[in-house]
Structure 1
């Protein structure tokens, strides 16, 4: 084989597959030794070495002697005999190298959002085609109540690379809180530039998310930046995750203020902190109590995750209720005055009038 033809073919395969020429040559050497031992069973225990000329593509098999020297034992027509076996080994090696290269690429993309489509479903787990490889979307990483179907296009978060039964596997997620953060990063230029920062996030996928944001510039409103004009930015994010509610609040380094804001939309009257137990006792008006706790305790639960503090909520009479209570007391007093019992003096006057009649 001419030098230019072999080198050109080798480089073309490597460039197309994204692998190194050295790894392909090593695969050829391995395949030649395997093919020789298969055709000559008596040489199984012999130390064999294969060499491949990178320029000409010429292949030779050598036997290692006791003195360390090499003896050429390449049989006539060995190339034709070993071709099929060598081809299979080389293809396997190329597949392994390709998968290794793809895994390295996706290791660098952990924490990023990528687009793909559902290739197939297996026992509730979605296999997502990302183009260069297929990723796994386990049930634990899916949004509850979200339905998936073949060829459905969707975006997912590259969560991790883990070792599976068939080698490394790409695990993607739609329920991870980082998925929300990355979706906002694509919608909000201020996040991408670093002017606005997501300080904390708590999520119950498919139901509700709370997110605390801050700004490094006073003139930039972090909440307004994430919401967007007429809510267009947050609406685009919600459309991707299936109408999940998103609460965006301003982050504060003052603990009391941050904890109070985390219970939004409820209005907090007072916050008392116990630093030792990291417990915050919150006082809200009675009419705000159910709002602060949320349905099935969701609001206070997310607030606790967001702030990292245990939160106890207690109710207190609102000013309106206090005024109503005072008015009621005054009415009760006036009724008592009207129904005041008769004194002894009043009874005597009544008897005198009767006698006169």
Structure 2
């Protein structure tokens, strides 16, 4: 068919009809028509020609034009779409490289194949416009709850109607015992929106921690207004959950506000989550205190917190152990997720046995190294001494306060401790030198003879070797693998070298070797401090 005056307005009417049906911009449909007509024209005039089509948005008239670009003579490749400056002088005055010459060409006669091709182009463009519209509509709604209708189930995944488009509630994002039929209306959390070749993929969830937090925001006005904040959520979807809440208004109880009158607010959330039991816990910046709250209803006797390892030991009475652990470990697992800590639970009897073992080991250390009788060694341990270094280098007053220890006895104890340590250090250095350690590492400030020996045994024998070590290789650390924290042993970890101390030593070694410019390091430190101050000021 030809683009004649008889069907010019029909183009615009068709574009508007398609746009209304698909709820997209009519201009996008017109652009698709222009591209389809351009392709048809290229098949008629030649694919190497730059044929462009513009449709007048008011009259519907399609204008076909051929465009040629002025290029340098050595860059001329396509004679149909390009021309040199000399050739361009025949068509325009004072042509410059980059100028274009546009001339109108007769409209094409579209045969059946060309018309079908044009239709495919238009449909493709319309589909792309629909997908873009859907993506733009939902990308900003990530993190919100929507009410949707179930369309069908596919291999355990639930496909829902988003109008327009579809979303997927995957099998692992459903609460275990929930069953859905086509037409059922459910509330879901928009977890992720991704732009993919087959169209935007909208992933939904009912098991996400954020879903519960958003449900509480809908039921508790104080959370919506920011007076109360949900600081942490841990869920065993469909079974039990714990949430930590804090109030920024001292007159409002965060737990009571979330529970509501006669439990009305929390019950609304429980009903939506198919009876999932929810423990609402007051948040506390002091992690041990928060953990004690999180382990409710179990009673805790004592808590020992190791910040470096992000690990916490909890001591409970024997009769509270099963309650603290919970059915299949559920209570302690949720408390661990809520606090972000690894939790070791032990009974008072187990903790007592461990303390007794430590007492005996330290007593035996002093008996063996200081040539003391067991009673005297026990006095040292009872007074809080844990190693020889403490005995050797503390003030005399700290030893003379022990019953039966006068100044002469204290000095004798310290002399024995120092003699033993010096002999131990000499043996360590002799062994390290046998392994090939260089003096540059032995003399490096901050490394004890035992540290040098440990490094040498692992192949670190020069200052250059030491400078190439990572801080975690020296101090140790923790790595998360498949959702579980795994311990990384450090070469100097048994000497209680912290990550910060390891960083300082490695950086000092690099400066001594000339690998790092200390002035640049000072600049970076000042910049970091400035950023921190700016953040504090903003907060």
More displaced 10-residue stretch of structure 1: 101-110 or 72-81: 72-81
- Secondary structure at the residue paired with 2:160? strand
More displaced 10-residue stretch of structure 1: 240-249 or 138-147: 138-147
Shift of 1:88: 4.0
Aligned equivalent of 1:27, options 3, 22, 32? 32
Shift of 1:224: 1.0
1:249 paired with 2:268, answer no
Aligned equivalent of 2:156, options 111, 124, 130? 124
- Secondary structure at the residue paired with 1:268? coil
Q: For residue 238 of structure 1, what is the aligned residue in structure 2?
A: 270
- Secondary structure at the residue paired with 1:57? coil
* Cα distance change, pair 4–76 in 1 and its aligned pair in 2 (3 A): closer
Specify which structure has the bigger relative contact order, considering alpha-carbon pairs within 8 angstroms and separated by 6 or more residues: 1
Aligned equivalent of 1:61, options 60, 64, 72? 64
More displaced 10-residue stretch of structure 1: 174-183 or 18-27: 18-27
2:193, 2:201 within 8 Å by CA — same for their partners in 1?
A: yes
* Cα distance change, pair 191–261 in 1 and its aligned pair in 2 (3 A): same
The whole-number CA distance in structure 2 between the counterparts of 1:264 and 1:27 is 63
The whole-number CA distance in structure 2 between the counterparts of 1:304 and 1:10 is 59
Q: For residue 203 of structure 1, what is the aligned residue in structure 2?
A: 235
Shift of 1:92: 2.9
1:297 paired with 2:329, answer yes
**Residues 175-215 of structure 1 deviation map (CA, whole Å, 9 limit, x = unaligned):** 11111111111111111111111001111212211100010
More displaced 10-residue stretch of structure 1: 80-89 or 197-206: 80-89
- Secondary structure at the residue paired with 1:50? strand
**Residues 59-89 of structure 1 deviation map (CA, whole Å, 9 limit, x = unaligned):** 1223334444334333465599966544443
**Residues 278-311 of structure 1 deviation map (CA, whole Å, 9 limit, x = unaligned):** 2211121221110100111111111011011111
The whole-number CA distance in structure 1 between the counterparts of 2:112 and 2:178 is 56
Q: For residue 212 of structure 2, what is the aligned residue in structure 1?
A: 180
- Secondary structure at the residue paired with 2:182? coil
1:6, 1:55 within 8 Å by CA — same for their partners in 2?
A: no
Across the aligned residues of Structure 1 and Structure 2, the Cα RMSD in angstroms comes to: 2.7
Aligned equivalent of 1:44, options 38, 42, 47? 47
TM-score of the two chains, using structure 1 as the length reference: 0.80
* Cα distance change, pair 171–246 in 1 and its aligned pair in 2 (3 A): same
Aligned equivalent of 1:313, options 330, 345, 360? 345
**Residues 294-330 of structure 1 deviation map (CA, whole Å, 9 limit, x = unaligned):** 111111111011011111111237xxxxxxxxxxxxx
- Structure with the higher strand share, 1 or 2: 1
Q: For residue 101 of structure 1, what is the aligned residue in structure 2?
A: 133
Aligned length: 315
2:52, 2:64 within 8 Å by CA — same for their partners in 1?
A: yes
Q: For residue 268 of structure 1, what is the aligned residue in structure 2?
A: 300
The whole-number CA distance in structure 1 between the counterparts of 2:131 and 2:223 is 33
The whole-number CA distance in structure 1 between the counterparts of 2:48 and 2:10 is 36
* Cα distance change, pair 90–76 in 1 and its aligned pair in 2 (3 A): closer
1:125, 1:136 within 8 Å by CA — same for their partners in 2?
A: yes
The whole-number CA distance in structure 1 between the counterparts of 2:10 and 2:219 is 50
Q: For residue 283 of structure 1, what is the aligned residue in structure 2?
A: 315
**Residues 21-48 of structure 1 deviation map (CA, whole Å, 9 limit, x = unaligned):** 543332121111223345x3x6233322
TM-score of the two chains, using structure 2 as the length reference: 0.54
1:192 paired with 2:224, answer yes
The equivalences for 1:78-157 within 5 A come to: 78=110, 85-157=117-189
2:193, 2:202 within 8 Å by CA — same for their partners in 1?
A: yes
- Secondary structure at the residue paired with 1:276? coil
* Cα distance change, pair 56–33 in 1 and its aligned pair in 2 (3 A): same
The whole-number CA distance in structure 2 between the counterparts of 1:29 and 1:4 is 14
The whole-number CA distance in structure 2 between the counterparts of 1:7 and 1:150 is 39
